Structure 1
């Protein structure tokens, strides 16, 4: 009854006859790595793909929809997120080994789980997913990559719920991948994907995954409230080197800080607001442009109201 009352107060724009969990005015800070930011107007955790397609088909046209995975590489602004945030939980976290070195994954499956299943099945080529702190839906959308490989190298196709509720299967060619970018429209939700590797030795695959894990642990501030890589690497260069050259290592704004361990990471030292974190990132961009002439592009997605 409360959900129906809240939907009515919102003009009836949000369908409430769902099988999953639907919550109004839902806090998001605890769901993202930075542990900062405002609330979602609505947070929907669908029971399955049919629940999601039905829900999205009944949304009022133009209602903003944003998918949320593990909450890495994301700044939720302090004013919160308008419309609906869709969070893919356990029903979308399956990983299944198919024939011909293909692995079928739910959009909510973490990269480390996919890489581990591939290792156990003797499928090589997916080890780099061990180094991507996110879920299949997120790194398919943004062509996530690490350690010399990216999703465009391994994706066969993906199942996507488009704005309006239509479920389509898109081959990798239709995503028009480039560096950390795809042509998926805003509001589309990746619910599954097929990834293809090559035959390999499980022991060698495991060793490579261990190497990637150790490299991340040594070079990145993994045990802090962070958002992953902040800026895209410019062509022919490294973002962290440009940030360092501009004298930004350890730079702070409120409780936000440029990591001293890896300067392409911003961290929340305690009670930083999202405005602190984003403001610090913009100050880093300004200083880098002034020092080097290079304008860094955000890799972290910034969403919501100021």
Structure 2
């Protein structure tokens, strides 16, 4: 389908038809976006969405870490925030404002350099600010809801809106961010600290992750939410799923709440493996695991 057929607005950024998404997600699997839009700046994004047919679906894409893109691809427009949305600036002694495309490593490092503590945990979360805000990302006893002051979003209509922490209805790995909203920036507040001590805590977190998680594999990160009173990895392990395979998809032997693409797994293989894990855990423990990884697009 051509741009003319879809009547897509003219943009200053980049608009690509049938853009492969597998290279942009950590699993390195899945289909193409009908259209991939990489806006030049916030105004470009607002203008595009305001003039785009309201019936055209829109999905935001960050660093692709917590995502299965199904093999049939994603209809409509996928919006990917690039370098223009990856800036981090210090507002005062304890507050930083971060673009929606900024990575957890960049944000935590900027906070360290500014002497702002309490944000170190973002060092351990793969992904970008937009995803953290949407899913209330967390690790090591902290969550985004603990540090978020406010965020700026562009609604599906193209309208810019500021949302306070209280507006987002945060619960465990969930927010009530409006459907189709793209997070373009977030303001985080920590507390004063010594850069050396903050850096040491970041190093500790990085070393712990390296020791316990399959970081150098094609994976999507933490697969299932931790049920109340339980650890998902322990339930998966107890159900005998460590190392379980479907095609080239495998449950990690290093950390059983991670699924791996060993090389040529399809997204269908990866999702089927996750569903088989859920089935076995339910049969063994009576507990129904919930996906933490977002699954989008059309099955082939």
Is 1:258–2:251 an aligned residue pair?
A: yes
Q: 1:63 offset after TM fit, Å? A: 1.4
The reply on whether 1:142 has 2:132 as its aligned counterpart is: no
- Pairs within 5 Å for 1:131-280: 131-280=124-273
Please give the alpha-carbon distance, in whole angstroms, between the structure 2 residues aligned to 1:242 and 1:166: 43
**Which residue is equivalent to 2:282?**
289
For 1:237 and 1:286, locate their aligned partners in 2 and report how far apart those are by CA, in whole Å.
17
C-alpha deviations, 1:113-144, integer Å up to 9, x for none? 11001111110000000000010011001100
Q: 2:19 aligns with which of 13, 23, 26?
A: 26
Distance across 2 between alignment mates of 1:119 and 1:96: 12
Separation (CA, whole Å) in 2 of partners of 1:200 and 1:293: 45
Q: TM-score, normalised by structure 2?
A: 0.99
**How much does 1:89 deviate?**
0.2
Distance (whole Å) between structure 2 residues aligned to residue 29 and residue 153 of structure 1: 33
- Structure 2: distance between partners of 1:289 and 1:303: 24
Question: What's 2:110 paired with?
Answer: 117
Instruction: Give the structure 2 partner of residue 301 of structure 1.
Output: 294
Match of 1:43 in 2: 36
Deviation digits for residues 157-182 of structure 1 (CA, Å, limit 9, x no counterpart): 00000111010000000001000000
**Alpha-carbon offset, residue 185 of structure 1:** 2.1
Are 1:73 and 2:66 counterparts?
A: yes
State the 1:6 CA deviation: 1.4
Q: Which runs of 5+ in 2 are unaligned?
A: none
Do residues 98 (structure 1) and 91 (structure 2) align? yes
Bigger drift between 118-127 and 59-68 goes to: 59-68
Q: Normalising by structure 1, report the TM-score.
A: 0.97
1:186 is displaced (CA, Å) by 2.2
| 2:93 and 2:114 in contact (8 A); partners too | no
> In structure 2, how many angstroms separate the alpha carbons of the residues matched to 1:65 and 1:283?
30
Residues 19-55 of structure 1: CA deviation (Å, up to 9, x unaligned): 0000111100000000000000000000000000000
Q: Distance in 1 between matches of 2:177 and 2:93?
A: 27
Q: Which runs of 5+ in 1 are unaligned?
A: none
Deviations along 1:69-116, one digit per CA (max 9) or x if unpaired, are 110010000000011000000000000011141100000000111100
Distance in structure 2 (CA, Å) of the matches to 1:175 and 1:192: 14
SS in 1 for 2:92: coil
Q: Which runs of 4+ in 1 moved over 3 A?
A: none
> Would you say how many aligned residue pairs link Structure 1 and Structure 2?
299
Q: For residue 3 of structure 2, what is the aligned residue in structure 1?
A: 7
